[in-house]
Amino acid sequence: MEYKDYYKIMGVKRDATQDEIKRAYRKLARQYHPDVSKEQHAETKFKELGEAYEVLKDPEKRRAYDQLGSQWKAGQDFRPPPGWQGGFEFRDFGGAGPDIGGFSDFFETLFGQGARRAGPARSARDFRARGEDHHAKVAIHLEDSYRGASRSITLQIPEVDSQGRVTARARTLNVRVPKGIKQGQQIRLAGQGGAGFGGGAAGDLYLEVEFTASGRYRVDGADVYLDLPLAPWEAALGATVKVPTPGGAVDLKVPPNSQAGKKLRLKGRGIPARQPGDLYVVLQIALPPADTPRRREVYEQMKQEFAFNPRAGMEV
């Protein structure tokens, strides 16, 4: 998938005002409109221009697009980086507008297939309307899902300032994280979305949960995985070792002659959802260094004693 530089397509700077973007679009739309333009590939250029304007005219989509940074160049192979929309609050784009078939894969990867927002016109009688729902992605610690927690989070809300430039306003909320929530699930904050119209009720804010990156745990649904280093003698002779888990330390019995990669299951010690997950301890063998003459001697003795070939069966 190719990265699209919407600013380059529109011929504007990255700090252009919303009015400058609108004027650029009107000028280029007349130039490349397929009904009047005699330029080669006018239809393709007109289509790219419409997609770029769909993003840059909307402060929320523009701010989200800007989150990707300016290091990308048009035509480069592109995949959105993990968590690129984290902490960014936006209105509900989904299902609010007509089909956007024909927009690029790049656009739909960033904003989804319902991202074109064009609601039906309201008559004067529709003076009461519920506010729009807002969405944001938030990162929490895995331990918060085990115990439940109250967290203060700050979201960035795109706005257009008096000079017509897109800025971000910080919004801080106190959020209760329910015990057992899984990655990808949402926390609903009633009445914390967009304001209603004509006295209508406010919309809701939906926080999609992600777990902060951890070098210790991996999460798959409700199951949690932990790599556990063992000394060679612990793996060979068996041992009882203390193991950290998000719910607290536990004593784990390692059976004798355990091999690297062996999984030991701790039933029900995964995420404590309605159907609790399991915690899998994946054994890893950590070798002590041969950094003294005596330790090298011990390794030499092991070499003679075991006559062990770890690559048996791989001979060529």
In CATH, what is the architecture of 217-306?
Sandwich (2.60)
Q: Where do we find the tokens 């990669």?
A: 261
Cα 301 from Cα 291, distance rounded (Å): 15
Angle value at C-alpha 255, between 250 and 259, nearest 5 degrees:
105
Cα 207 from Cα 308, distance rounded (Å): 54
Strand partners, 298: none
The predicted structure's pLDDT at residue 124? 44
The predicted structure's pLDDT at residue 102? 64
Per-residue pLDDT of the chain (316 residues; tens, 9 = 90+): 788 889 999 999 998 999 999 999 999 988 888 888 878 788 888 989 999 998 898 887 888 788 776 666 666 777 766 565 667 777 765 433 334 346 787 887 776 544 544 444 444 445 567 888 888 888 899 999 999 999 998 888 877 777 777 777 888 999 999 999 998 899 999 998 888 877 788 889 999 998 987 778 999 999 999 999 999 999 999 999 999 999 999 999 999 999 999 999 999 999 998 889 999 999 999 999 999 999 999 999 999 998 888 888 887 6
The structural domains of the chain, with segments of one domain joined by +, span 217-306
The predicted structure's pLDDT at residue 75? 66
Exposed/middle/buried for 264, CB within 10 Å: 0-12, 13-18, 19+? middle
* Tokens (6 digits) for 267: 């039933």
The predicted structure's pLDDT at residue 105? 79
How many of the other CB atoms lie within 10 Å of CB of 275?
A: 11
